[in-house]
Amino acid sequence: MGSAMTTRRDLLKGATLAAAASTTAALAIPLSSTPAPESSQPKHLVKIGLEEHFLIPEFIDYFATTYPNISPQIAKLGLAALLDLGDRRIATMDENGIDFQVLSIAGPGVQVEKDAALALMRSKLANDFLANEIQKHPTRYGGFAHLPMQNAVEAADELERCIHELGFQGAMINGQTNGEYLDLDKYSIFWERVQALQVPIYLHPGNPVDHPAMYANHPELWGPVCSWAFETATHALRLVFAGVFERYPGVTLVLGHMGETLPLNLWRFDSRWPISHRGSMTLVQPPSFYIRRNIAITTSGVCSDVSLRCALDAMDKNKVMFSADYPFEKLDVESRFISEARVTEAERTQVASQNAKRLMRINRPIGRTSQT
């Protein structure tokens, strides 16, 4: 979305930075051990996206609460693409070599709804709508459940319905709900169910309920440039330090945007956690143990070889997965990034689709060629 505002000067600056980054990368990153396939015989790289959004008309007002995070000139530009799940989206996927999208409501959805009963009703509406669209294009679409997190039992029940009856891959949660984070005791029953169902929970950025002073007079920091990553990373760390992954070792949390800065900081979490003021919190293992075991990440919106290399080396590389963040990022740029990323060919196929197939349990035939 941001590139629509890009000026010529920004483009030039970007080109210079990109050149500098690639020079650095050439020094720091070992070359792929397997040569890239000959361009004359391009082999199709299967790509699955996991942070691919849509909307239904009833959710536009919820989505509009994110307009202040984006330049007013472009905040509404994604609406038409979000509302389309038909030929236009499929054609865009085909043009950009995307085989399969696991679809999710563009946030925050019912998580900003004050009426819990309405939140439940609209969650079901969104999930039933999505299930119907998936049925029309089962080789191209999967789904993440939209959940009414106001009530942990209702959220768990709706998740179970979406997995068992609608065949979804997992759920997406857009950050806090009414100021409550997922490490609170009230959500134990939810995590218990998530573990039993063995499905991933994608923790997507959202705004906090307050507006911290550190963002005052800096609207550019309020949103995708800065605040969303720190809000989401902190939320994930709350789960780590509260021992949620110790109590529910089978849970997989998914973070977008190359792990929302976490992969870069594992060593420091382990080093500084023992000397921090921990209150009554204890962990059997160092924080990085849970982050590697229980957190998967996607590449959404971070097309950087340096960042991907860091993520693959710092995290469990079997849990690093491609995503595009459609329609908020440029699909051609995101798709080309994973095709050309400076990783081994084994890593490329794992990131592009293999890890997602396994973690999301996508067992049916997918992609354009498998359509009948």
CA distance 270 to 118: 42
Q: Which stretch binds Mn ion (CB under 5 A): 8-16, 130-138, 323-331, 332-340?
A: 323-331
Question: Are the C-beta atoms of 321 and 345 separated by less than 8 Å?
Answer: no
Q: Which stretch binds Mn ion (CB under 5 A): 37-45, 147-155, 211-219, 320-328?
A: 320-328
- Estimate to the nearest angstrom the gap between the alpha carbon of 343 and the chain centroid: 21
- Estimate to the nearest angstrom the gap between the alpha carbon of 285 and the chain centroid: 26
Active site (annotated) includes residue 185: no
| Least distance (Å) between residue 4 CB and Mn ion | 17
Read out DSSP for 63-98?
HGGGGGGS-TTTTTTTHHHHH--SHHHHHHHHHTT-
Question: Are the C-beta atoms of 230 and 238 separated by less than 8 Å?
Answer: no
Among 52, 325, 329, 334, binds Mn ion (CB under 5 A): 325
Which residue in 96, 123, 104 sits closest to 52, CA to CA? 104
List binders of Mn ion among 169-188 (CB under 5 A). Answer: none
| Least distance (Å) between residue 105 CB and Mn ion | 10
The smaller minimum CB distance to Mn ion, of residues 56 and 242, is found at 56
The one catalytic residue among 115, 185, 325, 332:
325
| Least distance (Å) between residue 13 CB and Mn ion | 26
The smaller minimum CB distance to Mn ion, of residues 51 and 133, is found at 51
> In the complex, which residue's CB is closest to Mn ion?
325
The smaller minimum CB distance to Mn ion, of residues 70 and 242, is found at 70
Rule CB under 5 A: say whether 113 interacts with Mn ion. no
CA distance 315 to 54: 29
- The residues, ordered by sequence, that sit 6+ positions from 273 with a Cβ below 8 Å of its Cβ are 241, 283, 286, 287
Rule CB under 5 A: say whether 305 interacts with Mn ion. no
Rule CB under 5 A: say whether 260 interacts with Mn ion. no
Question: Are the C-beta atoms of 110 and 177 separated by less than 8 Å?
Answer: no
Rule CB under 5 A: say whether 329 interacts with Mn ion. no
Window 39-68: contact mask with Mn ion (x via CB under 5 A): ------------x-----------------
β-strands 100-105, 141-146 pairing? parallel
Task: Please identify every residue annotated as catalytic.
Answer: 325
Binding site for Mn ion (CB under 5 A): 51, 325
